[in-house]
Amino acid sequence: MPLPPKVYTWLCGFFAALGSVTFGYDLGIIASVLPAEDFLATTGNPDATAQGLIVGCLLLGAFASNIYVGSLADHVGRRRAILFGCLVFLLGGSIQAAAQNIHYMYGGRFLAGMGIGMLAMLAPLYQAEIAHPSIRGRLTTLQQFMLGIGALIASFIGYGCFHGLSGQAQWRVPLAIQLLPAIPLAFFILLLPESPRYLAMKGRNEEALHILARLHAHGDIHDPFVVNEHKEILAQVRVEQQETRNAWAQLFLVKSNFRRLVLGVAIQFSIQMTGVSVIQYYAPRIFESIGIDTSTTLGLQSGNSVIALIGEALCIWFIDRLVQSGLLFLLWPIVVGEMFNSATRAKATAITSSAAWISNFMIAQVSPIAFDHVGWKYYLVFAICGFTNALFFWAFLPETKGIPLEELDAYFESVPLFVPTAKVYVPDGRTREEELRQGKIMVPEGAETEATEDMYEKDKGAIEHIA
């Protein structure tokens, strides 16, 4: 018996999110590695600046990967780009686990960061492009949930290895374990369906229709929802291909695109300014300042990871209710992967991810120095930012729930800059599904309806002789 379409889509999104487990694990495990005596001896007893660089090299690598990952995803496809990210991460993780001095750690962390940067950008991109509108919010939230699982695993493994092992094994074993989630992802990612929007961008319209049918209608290419969603995708791609400016220029010269880009960068920067990364990286040092030893700190960090995972699970469960209650500003990390159009999505997500990595690197480098010079006052920065972030996104971030990706251009052009004054109808996912089944598609401005229909009929004729 075939799986229900939404369950199948969930499984595809879940598997793609394994890359986020590696990210969460790498973020969490470094806290138990840095204080290990053999690690300090192997790396030459690094000072605060060098320890900050060990942490920061991962983030610099992730930042570097975003220079090319958008173009790579558009050139070879989402799945092959994810595979490449896995291979780079496996190389970097292996170098870390076998490190003979601090320079090995720098290089291994940088390469692992390149792989993580690719996976962290590509997973939500892929999830957003395969998701049904009614589950897109939950599916893209899955990345953050899997990151939390990775951090939870890292906290318990780090605690266990710090207590149960000694010598080199105390830090090499937890660093080697980070390779495990990436191995099955690398082996099986090509078995998942390719993004139908990527296929349409490459002119592979028959494959795009069959993938949509496989994801949303048990393979039925004549399902009304699939047929009309396919029409919308083709219409959107047609407009994008008619555009004389390239995708990079569109990001900065088209007003609605630039608005989304600014919001995306602000979202990613704001995530880092919550201060969560500081606690993940430097928990032993933070708690040591108030008289708590490293062993106890790692145990407390495990408990903190459990609480964080519960919070992420509640976010997935209640996301629709929070949106309907006007509390989208609590969920702004989800929006980044789904608010750009097909032509600019990969490149825009690369830019917004770069903002996340460079701000994270800044925090990783500054925090040890700030602890030495200003102490507890450093935390006031994050407290203030937490309040101002929520206020900013309440005022300026539009709701995208239930809106197909192909309709976002028109939507962002219609919503005023100050969002609370907006009077724009936003259907929920199920309502939009019914509208699509009734043939109510939104043809982007610049795509003539007749031309779009002719193009679709030509593709449909080619498909029907196969079906």
The DSSP code sequence of 98-163 is T--SHHHHHHHHHHHHHHHHHHHHHHHHHHHHHS-TTTHHHHHHHHHHHHHHHHHHHHHHHHHHHH
Closest CA to 366 of 357, 355, 378: 378
Answering whether pTM is above 0.95, one says no
Alpha carbon of 285 to those of 58, 289, 292, 295, 410: distances in Å? Answer: 20, 6, 9, 12, 49
Question: Locate tokens 């950008």: which residue?
Answer: 121
Residue 225 tokens, joined:
């929802």
Residue 138 tokens, joined:
């939950």
Mapped onto helix, strand or coil, the DSSP state of residue 236 is helix
Which amino acid is it at 378? Y
Burial class (CB in 10 A: 0-12, 13-18, 19+), 1: exposed
Residues 49 and 369: beta-carbon distance below 8 Å: yes
**Rounded Cα–Cα distance for residues 196 and 306 (Å):** 36
**Rounded Cα–Cα distance for residues 136 and 125 (Å):** 11
> How crowded is residue 217: how many other Cβ atoms within 10 Å of its Cβ?
17
Q: Report pLDDT for 311.
A: 76
Write the pLDDT tens digit of every residue in 372-400.
888 888 889 999 998 898 898 888 888 77
**Rounded Cα–Cα distance for residues 197 and 232 (Å):** 10
Question: What average pLDDT does range 341-358 have in this prediction?
Answer: 79
In 353-393, DSSP assigns E strands to none
Residue 329 tokens, joined:
């500003």
**Rounded Cα–Cα distance for residues 216 and 208 (Å):** 12
Write the pLDDT tens digit of every residue in 105-115.
999 999 999 99
- Of all residues in the chain, what percent are helix, strand and coil, respectively (each to 5)? 80, 0, 20
Question: Locate tokens 């906290």: which residue?
Answer: 155
pLDDT at residue 430 above 50?
yes
Write the pLDDT tens digit of every residue in 36-86.
999 999 999 998 788 889 988 998 999 899 888 888 988 999 999 999 999
Mean pLDDT computed over every residue of the chain: 81
What's domain 5-411's architecture? Answer: Up-down Bundle (1.20)
Write the pLDDT tens digit of every residue in 108-159.
999 999 999 899 888 888 888 888 877 776 777 777 788 889 988 998 999 8
pLDDT at residue 361 above 50?
yes
